[in-house]
Amino acid sequence: MKISANGLQSTAYLIIGSGIAGLYTALKLSELGEVTLLTKDTLVESNTSYAQGGIAAAIDPGDSPELHFQDTITAGAGLCLPDAVTVLVNEGPARIKELMELGVPFDTQAGKLALTREAAHHYPRVLHADGDATGREISHTLIKQVLANPRIKFVENMFVAALLTAGGRCYGALAIDPAGRRHGFLAKATVLATGGCGQIYTDTTNPEVATGDGLAIAFRAGAPLADLEFVQFHPTALYLPGAPRFLITEAVRGEGGILRNQQGIRFMPAYHGAAELAPRDIVSRCLLAEMEKTGTDHVYLDLSALEPSRIKSRFPNIYDTCLAYGLDITKEPIPVAPAMHYMMGGIATDLYGRTALPNLFACGEVACPGVHGANRLASNSLLDGLVFGHRIYTLLAGQEHAALPVPPELEVNLPAETAPEQVEADRKALKKLAAAKLGIIRREADLLTAVQLLAPVVARQEPVLNREYLELQNMRLIARLIANAALQRTESRGSHYRADYPDPDPNWQKRLLHYPGKTEMLSAISPFHWHW
């Protein structure tokens, strides 16, 4: 459908999303001009606010970017882009310093930054704040800065339905408010920082807002997506009747937490030499194997090796949350089971956040610059949003800032795959399907079933400008692309495990790039380059 450009709001820079990537990039771009930041809920509601473990960076004198690089590459199982990882680990310490200057209260011990070690790290390099509330503290600090910045206009409860395009170029976005009214925003540069897609699954640590919207609107506008088969499941999410699938950070295991089965037996050493500190994909599969072996739906995380005072000071958020549901983790083990946690794939970007669509950028979880490969290293996600958000800023700071000529008419690609009156039932069915067919262990027959069931079921109709309906269409599209990618990758690598192809295949050390209507296999492990 086409809309007139007349009367639309204009801004120099449009940012969509209010997690660490969106907030930080907004602050940086405000140095260059006016910024409008849109978020579909409140500023505080994002995956960042729920991040517990911390943010990794080689800031200790005994550590180095080279060691951080090696740990990241190893966790990525052969699919990390070395150039992207080099950028992350070398520019990360400067971004941490910047957060500290902005006022993020990272925890200290004896006057020095307190650093912890998490799974697959060979050195303690994870900073944390308020024990296990790192994301919340970073978010609060950045929001405070945004609210005080006169060059940033933020609009809450504004759901972005589609990008505005013409001639293969992005000119902004079309959003709807809670009443269903349309709002068009024109910008010289549009930055997607909308986070992940955990709500596709029944069990997820992601908040309700994580429905893959940025992925979907970018794809429909013509920007390719990459690495979508690589979905990370966190092995330890709280498993209590009536409680949400609350994340139990990996740092608990890094501090000495032990995984035990229903009989109280520690089982991880029997599966992997690194035991509880093995990469997340391995620990998640081991938990499934142990649960199947013992005929149960969860295992236990035992914190008895930690002093009660240490538990309360290091993990106050986890302690308080569990206590609210009647569980005292200083006296009892935590029942846990895997849950969807993070999308390694995303909008394909180069090393400056550029997508294939001119004037459209992406950073944070929604983007895929190639840092995480087939399996993200713990606590690299928050750093990813900072580093590549800053790179978008440095690129735009070096460009001319002439007004962008806007065509009189703009294209809006709105989805219509399912019947509007079936939204609630279809959403439940989708989540159940993804949990059964697109989970930790995958099989060809399951993936074929998912692709078939996720195909559009109604002819294209008049657009429905309703948040719940559009969220469902976004979730269906991304789930379908995950299923297709997982079906094509006939090997097991990192977080993608095929029971019918249980081993990695060196011929599959390549990436899948999804364009609307086609999929390309890229044989070279090298950065994307977009020539605008």
DSSP for 455-520 reads S--S---S----HHHHHHHHHHHHHHHHHHHHHH--S-BTTB-BTTB-S--GGG-SEEEEETTEEE
**Residues above pLDDT 70, as percent of the chain:** 99
CB atoms within 10 A of CB 16: 28
In angstroms, the CA 254 to CA 267 distance is 16
Tokens 């949350």, located at residue = 321
Encoded amino acid at 516, one letter: P
The pLDDT of 4-31, averaged and rounded, is: 96
Check residue 364 and report its DSSP letter. Answer: G
In angstroms, the CA 387 to CA 481 distance is 27
In angstroms, the CA 114 to CA 112 distance is 6
Q: Are 219 and 473 in contact (CB under 8 A)?
A: no
Sorted by sequence, the CB contacts under 8 Å of residue 405 that are 6+ apart come out as none
Q: Is 276 helix (H, G, I), strand (E, B) or coil?
A: helix
Residue 443 a catalytic site member = no
Among 29, 39, 36, which Cα is nearest to 207's? 39
464-486 pLDDT, tens per residue?
Answer: 899 999 999 999 999 999 999 99
| Range name among 56-65, 238-247, 383-392 with the lowest pLDDT average | 238-247
Dihedral sign from CA coordinates of 436, 437, 442, 448:
positive
Q: Is 87 helix (H, G, I), strand (E, B) or coil?
A: helix
Distances (CA, A) of 172 to 14, 187, 217, 255, 346: 7, 5, 12, 45, 20
In angstroms, the CA 176 to CA 466 distance is 8
In angstroms, the CA 46 to CA 380 distance is 17
* List of domains in the chain: 2-230+344-410 (3.50.50.60), 234-340 (3.90.700.10), 415-502 (1.20.58.100)
The pLDDT of 187-193, averaged and rounded, is: 97
List helix spans (H) across 119-188: 134-147
Sorted by sequence, the CB contacts under 8 Å of residue 406 that are 6+ apart come out as 5, 166, 171, 186
Among 350, 346, 279, which Cα is nearest to 83's? 350
496-507 pLDDT, tens per residue?
Answer: 999 999 999 999
Q: Which of 280, 376, 467, 489 is catalytic?
A: 280
Among 62, 24, 31, which Cα is nearest to 46's? 24
Encoded amino acid at 376, one letter: R
- Look at residue 63 and tell me whether its pLDDT is greater than 90: yes
Sorted by sequence, the CB contacts under 8 Å of residue 383 that are 6+ apart come out as 55, 56, 57, 88, 92, 95, 96
- pLDDT given for residue 401 in this prediction: 66
- pLDDT given for residue 419 in this prediction: 87
| pLDDT greater at residue 214 or residue 401 | 214
- pLDDT given for residue 41 in this prediction: 93
Q: Which two tokens stand for residue 310?
A: 């240490």
Tokens 């492990």, located at residue = 525
Give the H/E segment covering residue 176. strand 169-176
CB atoms within 10 A of CB 255: 18
**Buried/exposed 168-177: b ≥16 CB within 10 Å, e otherwise:** ebbbbbbbbe
In angstroms, the CA 503 to CA 490 distance is 9
CA angle 34, 37, 43 (to 5 degrees): 140
Q: Are 276 and 267 in contact (CB under 8 A)?
A: no
Output the average pLDDT for the chain.
94
411-436 pLDDT, tens per residue?
Answer: 999 999 898 888 999 999 999 999 99
Q: Which two tokens stand for residue 432?
A: 């159940």
Check residue 432 and report its DSSP letter. Answer: H
Tokens 């074929």, located at residue = 448
- pLDDT given for residue 310 in this prediction: 95
Q: What pTM, to 2 d.p., does this model score?
A: 0.95
- pLDDT given for residue 402 in this prediction: 65
